[in-house]
Structure 1
Amino acid sequence: MSPDLSPLQQLAVRLLRCLVLSQADQLSIEDVISERAQQRDCSRALAAQMLHKIAWNF
């Protein structure tokens, strides 16, 4: 991540990357399973980051 980006911008970039991954063409069942696991992990990480940001804003 570029140090020029604010933490919120960095979070937005991560979210966009996850969205791009979720829209990728699937080539096989193994790819679909792997992609779902990546999305789940990405969603958990983003949720944790968002909760952390919200907690620090209060």
Structure 2
Amino acid sequence: MDLARKRVQISNNRGRVNGWTSHDRVFGICTAVDGVARSGVAGKLLTADSDDSSRT
């Protein structure tokens, strides 16, 4: 994650990195596969009490 430039690294389902995209192009993230939580998800999810005033 590159917070200064507001972008994230994107990858495919085979573990290969495809490049970078801006935060406004991210529509969702994978949080679990077959009921097994994915590592690294903590801190990346919006919650009901999150301040999303910067989103349009």
Fold conserved (TM > 0.5)? no
Structure with the largest fraction of helix: 1
The answer to which structure, 1 or 2, has the higher relative contact order (CA under 8 A, 6+ apart) is 1
In our comparison, the structure showing a higher alpha carbon Rg is 1
**Bigger strand share:** 2
Q: TM-score, normalised by structure 2?
A: 0.30
- TM-score normalised by the chain length of structure 1: 0.29
